[in-house]
Each structure stands twice: as C-alpha cells, then as structure tokens.
C-alpha cells in the first residue's frame, strides 16, 4: 500500500491532502476497531464475572410458561414460571424485581440462562452455612418419612433428620411430626455433595436445660405447676414439668385407693399437679393430683353416722375380710367376723365377690386414721337371737360334729350356726384328751345349752351336762366291792376304758387287768368286749369309779379255795379283805 501511495504521490503531487486524509481515516478505523474490541472484551468480561452469582433483575414480560428478565441494559433471559411457588407466582408483575441466579450468559438462543430456584437455594445455603458455623437453631418443616429418619425442608433445601435425633427419648411414631414446623440444629453440612444433617433432639435438650434451670430456681413445696404425662407405670406416672420430670405416685393420684393409673391418665395429657416434696440437691420431685381435690375424710362424720345402714361396693377381698367403697375416696373394711352370724371361721371369698353391691352397717369411724369398720351380718337377722328364742338356757339341742380339734368339738347347730364345745365339757370322769377320742366328724350328739349372749355372740354348750342326772343316779347305785359288767370303749398301753352305762365311764389300769403279770396285756381286750370287774372305789362328787379285774380274780380264787379248805377259807378271806382295805 505504501508503494501504491508513494507512486500516486510521485505522479500526482496535488493529491497529497487526499492521501493524508485516507491514511488518517484508515488509522481512525483501526483505532475504532481496536477500541470496540477492547470495549466488547471488557463488557464480556464483566458479564462472565456475573456467572454463578445472584442478581436482581427486572421483569420485562410474562408469558404463559416463563417470564423475561432484564439483568442489565444489554442482557435478558427467561425464567420458567414453575420455579415460583403459588404465592410468588401471583405476585409477579411487569416492571417488578426478582432474584435470579446467572448460570450462563449465552444459551442456544443467545440469551442468558437464569434460575430463580437456584437463587433461592444459594441464598438459603449461605444462611444454613452461617447457622452451622454459629450453631444457631433454624426453622424447618418436616416433609415426610424416609429410610432411617425424616426429610426436612429448610427453606428450599432438603435436609436429613436421623431417627435418633428426632426426640430426647426414642419415639415409636415419628410420623406424627410430618407436616409440622420445628426448630433444628445443623450438625453436619457437606457443600460439595449438598448434604445437610439436622437434629431436633439437640434443640430440645438445650431448651430443656434452660427450662430446668429456670424451674429449679422457682420451684417450692406446695406450688401448683402444669406438666405433660410422659409415661405410665403400675406405681404411678412421670410428669414432664418442662426441663425436669416429677413422679406422681399412684397413692397421690386419687382419694380412691383402688384406682388404676391408666384409668386417670394418658400419655401426652396436660395436667396440673401440686409439688408435695422437693429435694433440690438430688432434683427429685414428688407430685400429687388428689391434693388439688377436696379431702372427703374431712367431712366423713357429716356424711356417715355409726349405726346407719348404707350401700357399698366390694372393691377388694383378703383372707381377713373385704374392703367396700361407700363413695368416691371413702372405703371401709368388713372384717371376716362381721360377715355372717352362723360361722366362726369365715372365708371372705365364700361370702362376697368383687364388685358386689351390698348393704352394710357402719360400726366405727376413725377419721384420724382414715378407717371405717363395716358390718355385713348386722343387716341380716341375728341368728343368735333366733336360737335363744327356740333353745333357751337349760334346753337340749342336737348338733352335728364338723371338726374335732385339740381344744374341743366344732359343731353345727340349728340355723347353720357353728360353735365350739370345749373339751372340758365332754366328760365328768375322763381326761379331756381321752374324751375327745370318742368323737368323730359327722357324728350327731346331744348338747345342753348352758349360756346364751346375743351381744357377745356366745353360746355355752355341754355334752356331760346332758347325762349328769342319769350319771348321778347310776353312781349312787354303785357300791364299793360290787361286781359289775362294763363294755370296753378304748384300749391303750396303760389300760382299757370301759362304759359302765348312763354316761359313767371308768378306766382299768394295766396293773388291775389280771393277777399274774403275763395276763396284764391291755391288747388282749377288744373294743366292744364285755368284762366283769370289782368296784374298788366310788366318789360321787368327782363321779370317779375305779374297777379292778385282778380283785375279782382274787375273790373268785378265794371262793374256789373256800370250797376245799373249809375253815381256812375264812382265814384267806380275812387276809384278802385286809389287803383290799390297805390298797384303798
């Protein structure tokens, strides 16, 4: 070109000005192109520096599926409407501003690639990262259950809540939190993978520690506080007072002693309770629910009077009686001896059953000890009074032996009354233990009524007094030295017992069974045998009669000898008489 320019100038000197103008123009064009390239490069550089950043853009237009957003005076891009929530979508207006994330400056159509959703996620992520660094709780919404825990929406970013971090105590049903807003603490964040792990338990523990410190500073005995039932046990319930648990023992649940914990409380229930004991050192709290109610025992004497008959419900049966509820919180004891008139050894479960509705008489009230004595038999006819009218003192009555004990006989009298006959009332002559051996269960005997006390529920009975008159007549007919017949009723090592008749018994000792030693064996006799013996002693006062078979044998021998010895018989008889007198 220089050559061309030089040639032209040599041949046409007049054109110097035109050549200079051309050269200057070309120089200007070159400078403009360079300047434009530099400006364009700077502009692109500035634009590319915005990629991956969040900026505010102005809405230019709104289509049916997207909005056009102007990021700068020279750049526009599309944002899909589906990236906006329902509420946000309704608020979109032409000319309004919206946050967008610049992914790239040039797409396939030459426009910018923008995202509103990523802008929200980016802002949220920065907030979450800051919350993680500051260990500050954040709010989130539980979306649903996933394997091993729950998913949580932290304002556009989904985090994972492990099952172990849901609550302070393991929960059987974490699904109840789905759809609820909760506070969480971020325990792990991985920006590269976009993973976030949160803990609700950490927040609850922090709140619990704060609430516990506050509660312990103001708690005192007698204070009424509100709490939530955490769990139930047979002995009571644990109540969460907000940071610290207290025990509501079953005895402080209600004035009704037979109430069950499950009948009054349920887990999750909010209740008011009274602090009845508080140990600040070991942080143990005893709570009461019945203390908030009126104590029915304070007006017990106004509600019930001794001697009155009221309705009651059997609540519990023991070996010594049954408990009956008169009204809510008021319970009394029906002792076994107050259950029936006719039985001494009463088995309470044979008389009443649990939940039976009965009529009882109030026998005694002790408001201080919170005790009421009740009577069941007092509401029925007094069988002792009935018996006394039909069998007055001195009369005889037939009874059946129900049991034979070391103390005497247990017999069943008319009207089903069971009473005892003491062993001392069995015989005038026999020792008590020996007299008892004559009786057996099921045997029917005649008794004499010696005493009746309806107030003391006592009946005096005697076997020996039934035959006392006949026995005395029989004793009076017996004389010393008389030979009588008797029947063996018992055999023992020491001798045999015999029945003389009319209720008179005697015992023939082993030594008096025979004269010679080899025949003094009591077991050579059998019960029912009839034996002959000589009366050696009679005492009508003690109704004692002593018999001797040996003496009869000696007498018989003397008689036989007298038939053969003549005068020697009298001598022998005199010797025998002197021997018997010496024995007496």
Secondary structure of 32-85 in HEC code, one letter for each residue: HHHHHHHHHHHHHHHHHHCCCCEEEEEEEEECCCEEEEEEECCEEEEEEHHHCC
Query: Which fold would CATH assign to domain 479-516+523-560?
Result: OB fold (Dihydrolipoamide Acetyltransferase, E2P) (2.40.50)
Superfamily of domain 44-120: Nucleic acid-binding proteins (2.40.50.140)
Does the pTM exceed 0.85?
no
For residue 203, what pLDDT is reported? 86
Q: Cite the DSSP H helix spans in 286-339.
A: 300-303
Instruction: State the DSSP H helix or E strand holding residue 229, giving kind and residue range, or none if neither.
Output: strand 224-233
The residues with which 498 forms a beta bridge, in sequence order, are 488, 506
User: What token pair was written down for 106?
Assistant: 């040039």
By CB atoms closer than 10 A (0-12, 13-18, 19+), residue 527 is exposed
* Contact of 491 with 452, CB cutoff 8 Å: no
Q: Cite the DSSP H helix spans in 116-190.
A: 116-134
* Contact of 491 with 522, CB cutoff 8 Å: yes
Would you kindly state where each structural domain of the chain is located, as residue ranges?
Answer: 44-120, 135-205, 219-288, 299-375, 386-470, 479-516+523-560
Sheet holding 530-539, edge to edge: 504-509, 495-501, 483-492, 530-539, 544-548
Instruction: Round to whole Å and give the CA distance between 148 and 408.
Output: 78
299-375 in CATH: which number? 2.40.50.140
Instruction: Round to whole Å and give the CA distance between 579 and 355.
Output: 79
User: What token pair was written down for 309?
Assistant: 């008959």
The secondary structure of 353-394 as a DSSP string is -TT-EEEEEEEEEETTTTEEEEESGGGS--HHHHHHHHS-TT
Query: Given the structure tokens 């644990």, which residue do they identify?
Result: 238
Instruction: Round to whole Å and give the CA distance between 103 and 22.
Output: 46
Instruction: Round to whole Å and give the CA distance between 248 and 255.
Output: 14
Topology alike, domains 299-375 and 386-470 = yes
Distance linking the first and last C-alpha atoms of the chain? 188
Phi, psi of 435 (to 5 degrees): -65, -40
Instruction: Let me know how long the chain is.
Output: 584
* Contact of 224 with 215, CB cutoff 8 Å: no
For residue 40, what pLDDT is reported? 47
Per-residue pLDDT of the chain (584 residues; tens, 9 = 90+): 333 333 343 445 554 555 556 555 565 655 656 555 555 455 545 455 567 677 888 888 888 888 888 887 567 888 888 888 778 888 888 888 888 888 776 655 556 788 877 887 777 777 888 888 888 898 889 998 889 888 998 877 888 988 888 887 766 677 788 888 989 998 888 877 778 899 988 888 887 777 777 888 788 888 888 889 988 888 888 988 877 888 989 888 887 777 788 888 888 889 899 998 888 878 888 998 888 888 888 888 888 899 899 999 998 899 999 998 888 888 899 999 888 887 777 889 888 998 889 999 999 999 888 899 999 988 888 888 888 889 999 889 999 999 999 999 999 999 888 889 998 888 876 778 888 888 999 999 999 998 988 878 889 999 888 866 566 667 778 888 899 999 998 888 889 988 888 767 888 999 999 888 777 899 999 988 999 999 998 887 667 888 998 888 888 888 877 776 655 555 555 555 655 555 54
Q: Which DSSP symbol is given to 472?
A: H
135-205 in CATH: which number? 2.40.50.140
* Contact of 115 with 100, CB cutoff 8 Å: yes
CATH class of the domain at 386-470: mainly beta
Which of 356, 365, 449, 471 lies closest to 399 in space, CA to CA? 449
Instruction: Round to whole Å and give the CA distance between 446 and 465.
Output: 10
Residues 6+ apart with CB under 8 A from 112: 71, 75, 76, 77, 102, 104, 105, 106
Phi, psi of 455 (to 5 degrees): -65, -40
219-288 in CATH: which number? 2.40.50.140
Instruction: State the DSSP H helix or E strand holding residue 582, giving kind and residue range, or none if neither.
Output: helix 567-583
User: What token pair was written down for 262?
Assistant: 């499950």
Sheet holding 396-404, edge to edge: 418-422, 408-412, 396-404, 444-453, 458-462
Phi-psi sector, 416: left (phi>0), alpha (psi -120 to 50), beta: left
């Amino acid at each position: 070109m220089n050559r061309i320019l030089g040639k032209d100038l040599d041949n046409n000197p007049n054109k110097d000005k035109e050549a200079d103008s051309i050269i200057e123009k070309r120089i200007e064009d070159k400078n403009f192109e360079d300047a434009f390239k530099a400006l364009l490069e700077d502009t692109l550089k500035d634009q590319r520096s915005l990629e991956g950043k969040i900026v505010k853009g102005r809405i230019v237009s709104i289509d049916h599926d997207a909005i056009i957003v102007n990021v700068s005076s020279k750049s526009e891009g599309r944002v899909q409407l589906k990236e906006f929530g329902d509420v946000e979508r309704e608020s979109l207006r032409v000319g309004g501003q919206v946050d967008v994330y610049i992914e790239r400056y040039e797409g396939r159509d030459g426009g910018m690639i923008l995202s509103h959703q990523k802008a929200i996620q980016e802002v949220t992520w920065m907030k979450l990262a800051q919350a993680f660094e500051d260990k500050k709780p954040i709010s989130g919404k539980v979306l649903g259950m996933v394997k091993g825990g729950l998913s949580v929406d932290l304002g556009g970013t989904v985090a994972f809540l492990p099952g172990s971090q849901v609550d302070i105590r393991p929960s059987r049903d974490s699904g109840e939190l789905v759809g609820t807003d909760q506070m969480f603490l971020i325990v792990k964040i991985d920006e590269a993978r976009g993973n976030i792990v949160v803990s609700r338990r950490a927040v609850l523990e922090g709140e619990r520690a704060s609430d516990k410190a506050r509660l312990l500073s103001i708690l005192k005995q007698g204070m009424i506080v509100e709490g939530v039932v955490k769990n139930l046990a047979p002995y009571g319930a644990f109540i969460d007072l907000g940071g610290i648990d207290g025990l509501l023992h079953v005895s402080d649940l209600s004035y009704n002693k037979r109430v069950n914990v499950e009948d009054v409380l349920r887990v999750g229930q909010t209740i008011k309770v009274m602090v009845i004991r508080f140990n600040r050192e070991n942080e143990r709290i005893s709570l009461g629910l019945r203390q908030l109610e009126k104590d029915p025992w304070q007006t017990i004497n106004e509600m019930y009077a001794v001697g009155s008959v009221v309705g009651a419900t059997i609540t519990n049966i023991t070996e010594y009686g049954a408990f009956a509820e008169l009204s809510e919180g008021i319970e009394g004891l029906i002792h076994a001896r107050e259950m029936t008139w006719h039985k001494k050894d009463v088995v309470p479960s044979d008389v009443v059953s649990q939940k039976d509705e009965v009529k009882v008489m109030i026998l005694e009230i002790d408001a201080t000890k919170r005790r009421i004595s009740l009577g069941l038999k007092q509401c029925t006819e007094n069988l002792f009074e009935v018996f006394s009218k039909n069998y007055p003192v001195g009369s005889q009555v037939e009874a059946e032996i129900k049991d034979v004990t070391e103390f005497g006989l247990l017999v069943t009298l008319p009207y089903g009354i069971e009473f005892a006959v003491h062993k001392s009332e069995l015989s005038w002559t026999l020792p008590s233990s020996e007299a008892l051996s004559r009786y057996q269960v099921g045997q029917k005997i005649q008794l004499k009524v010696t005493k009746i006390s309806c107030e003391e529920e006592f009946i005096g009975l005697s076997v020996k007094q039934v035959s006392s008159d006949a026995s005395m007549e029989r004793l009076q007919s017996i004389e010393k030295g008389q030979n009588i017949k008797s029947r063996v009723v018992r055999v023992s090592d020491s001798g045999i017992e015999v029945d003389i008749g009319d209720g008179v018994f005697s015992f023939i000792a082993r030594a008096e069974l025979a004269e010679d030693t080899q025949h003094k064996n009591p077991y050579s006799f059998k019960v029912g045998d009839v034996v002959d013996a000589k009366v050696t002693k009679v005492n009508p006062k003690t109704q004692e009669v002593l018999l001797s078979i040996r003496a009869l044998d000696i007498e018989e021998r003397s008689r036989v000898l007298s038939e053969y010895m003549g005068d020697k018989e009298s001598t022998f008889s005199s010797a025998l008489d002197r021997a018997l007198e010496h024995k007496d």
